[in-house]
């Protein structure tokens, strides 16, 4: 079923001369299947098909698009063990993670299907005419949300299902009435093709237009650049590095017709622990955060990479216990040798900065692509003076900052770039005094967690997965939950229109 070809609408194609293979990081070998990178001609064909499909798809009823989304979910489940085996062979992640992510992907598709069963999600408003109003008549105005056009979606390295081919960006765009062209991630191209086949099967079974979905292979950056610059593409969804997301954002802004890029680009997710919490439950917190830091080998955008508290004996003891519990855990395989290399280089760069101390590190011999975790600490003054300490280390790493006092802690929070999350660990008696901290943190993050961990993003209407730049390129929107659909629509008004020409929801 995996051919290595590109999915251009309903047809598979392999016109390009560039080929590549995926990699099994657990076995430290290349997988056998050869993949064909999309040629410029294939990119153009996918965009042309998407443009034509949009003319039809935007007018298909929400209930029929819901049927399509549910059919995609059914087709993904029908791939069964083949999908799980392929996922694991391309990521080094365990079977349980693969099945959990598949469940999340299916759940996202069904939640958007439920949303669009009726048209209320379009936020229709009607202001009827008042022809006799003085000094001037009031016109009849009716407004709702309409899809913006074909969307380019970039698959994420760390979520081959939930943030990739049929993940949240694709599901929300298809729900909105926008065709999707996926730039498949080269690290899991086989998983991507299987899911793309599921989407196409669902499209054909439910009568969707040819071109409503395409999946393009790429081992480099050229296909992505062509997509973002293509005049038929009207929006971009991206999950990945700041460097990659910003490059796409700049390309889109330089087009003759600029288009929106909704990029979610990672975070260090500060965690603030109060003195009372350290006194009452330091050991419990060390265990909880050792689990969170090492979850998925630290390969989550919500990994707790920064822990803050006022310096004290209790905080010093907590940092040491956290380090001990982190390195007591068995290291895990990272997604790819390049990601392991990136982790090692960034971890060592941060660790070499002035004033930073390594508290704990796993020193035993490891398999080739396994990541040794590391816990470090630094004082608040050094942290404020060195911006390199503010950067994300993608892997099982965290930096504990020992602040001189509460004022310095607040100053550190104000100095941070935008983040996806912030967490406050506190006791009940702390609550009356947390107002300034909450207000300060709220300006830097998209979500605040109280007495929890940032890892684990619930898919629901109230979730905000985004934040001030560079956590995301537009903090007004979320990449998770049903409100993610609002990225792919724009408001549109009808004035003094005959009712026969109005959409049903505006009549």
N-to-C CA span, the chain: 47
Residues 26, 90, 101, 264: which is the catalytic one? 264
Asked if 297 contacts 157 with a C-beta cutoff of 8 angstroms, the reply is: no
Is 403 in the active site? no
3-state helix, strand, coil in the chain (%, to 5): 45, 20, 35
Asked if 169 contacts 63 with a C-beta cutoff of 8 angstroms, the reply is: no
Place of tokens 């062979």: 89
Pick the closest to residue 420 from 472, 461, 344, 487 (CA basis).
472
Asked if 455 contacts 295 with a C-beta cutoff of 8 angstroms, the reply is: yes
Residues 301, 321, 333, 392: which is the catalytic one? 301
Rounded (5°) CA angle 98-102-107: 150
Question: Cα-flanking dihedrals φ and ψ of residue 290, to 5°?
Answer: -65, -40
Is residue 138 helix, strand or coil? strand
Rounded (5°) CA angle 238-156-202: 90
Cα 148 from chain centroid?
A: 21
Place of tokens 């005094």: 433
Pick the closest to residue 153 from 174, 177, 186, 180 (CA basis).
180
Asked if 427 contacts 276 with a C-beta cutoff of 8 angstroms, the reply is: yes
Asked if 401 contacts 412 with a C-beta cutoff of 8 angstroms, the reply is: yes
Q: Which residues contact 416 (CB under 8 A, 6 or more apart)?
A: 268, 270, 306, 390, 444
Residues classed as catalytic? 264, 301
């Amino acid at each position: 079923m995996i051919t290595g070809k590109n999915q251009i609408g309903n047809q598979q194609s392999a016109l390009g001369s560039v080929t590549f293979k995926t990699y099994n990081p657990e076995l430290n070998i290349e997988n056998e299947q050869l993949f064909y990178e999309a040629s410029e001609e294939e990119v153009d064909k996918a965009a042309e098909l998407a443009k034509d499909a949009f003319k039809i798809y935007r007018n298909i009823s929400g209930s029929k698009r819901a049927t399509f989304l549910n059919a995609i979910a059914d087709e993904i489940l029908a791939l069964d063990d083949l999908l799980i085996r392929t996922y694991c062979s391309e990521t080094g992640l365990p079977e349980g993670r693969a099945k959990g992510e598949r469940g999340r992907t299916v759940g996202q598709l069904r939640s958007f299907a439920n949303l669009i069963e009726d048209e209320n999600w379009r936020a229709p408003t009607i202001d009827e005419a008042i022809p006799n109003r003085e000094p001037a008549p009031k016109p009849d105005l009716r407004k709702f949300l309409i899809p913006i056009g074909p969307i380019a979606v970039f698959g994420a390295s760390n979520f081959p299902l939930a943030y990739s081919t049929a993940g949240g960006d694709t599901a929300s765009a298809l729900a909105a009435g926008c065709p999707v062209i996926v730039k498949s991630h080269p690290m899991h191209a086989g998983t991507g093709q299987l899911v793309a086949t599921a989407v196409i099967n669902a499209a054909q079974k439910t009568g969707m237009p040819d071109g409503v979905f395409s999946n393009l292979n790429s081992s480099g950056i050229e296909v992505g650049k062509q997509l973002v610059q293509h005049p038929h593409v009207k929006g971009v969804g991206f999950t990945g590095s700041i460097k990659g997301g910003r490059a796409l954002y700049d390309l889109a802004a330089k087009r003759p017709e600029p288009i929106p890029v909704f990029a979610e680009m990672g975070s260090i997710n500060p965690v603030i622990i109060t003195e009372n919490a350290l006194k009452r439950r330091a050991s419990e917190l060390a265990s909880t955060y050792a689990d969170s830091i090492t979850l998925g080998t630290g390969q989550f955008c919500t990994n707790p990479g920064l822990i803050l508290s006022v310096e004290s004996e209790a905080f010093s003891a907590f940092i040491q216990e956290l380090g001990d519990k982190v390195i007591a855990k068995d290291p895990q395989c990272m997604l790819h040798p390049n990601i392991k290399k990136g982790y090692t280089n960034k971890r060592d760069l941060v660790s070499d900065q002035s004033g930073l101390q390594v508290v704990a590190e796993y020193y035993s011999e490891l398999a080739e692509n396994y990541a040794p975790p590391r816990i470090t600490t630094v004082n608040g003054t050094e942290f404020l003076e060195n911006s390199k300490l503010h950067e994300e280390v993608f892997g099982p790493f965290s930096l504990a900052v020992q602040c001189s006092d509460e004022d310095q802690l607040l100053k550190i929070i104000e100095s941070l770039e935008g983040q996806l999350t912030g967490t406050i660990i506190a006791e009940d008696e702390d609550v009356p005094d947390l107002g300034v901290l909450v207000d300060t943190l709220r300006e830097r993050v998209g979500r605040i967690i109280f007495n929890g961990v940032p890892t684990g993003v619930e898919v629901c209407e109230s979730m905000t997965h985004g934040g001030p730049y560079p956590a995301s390129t537009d903090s007004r929107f979320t990449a998770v939950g049903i409100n993610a659909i609002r990225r792919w629509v724009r408001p549109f008004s009808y004035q003094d229109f005959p009712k026969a020409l109005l959409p049903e929801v505006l009549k």
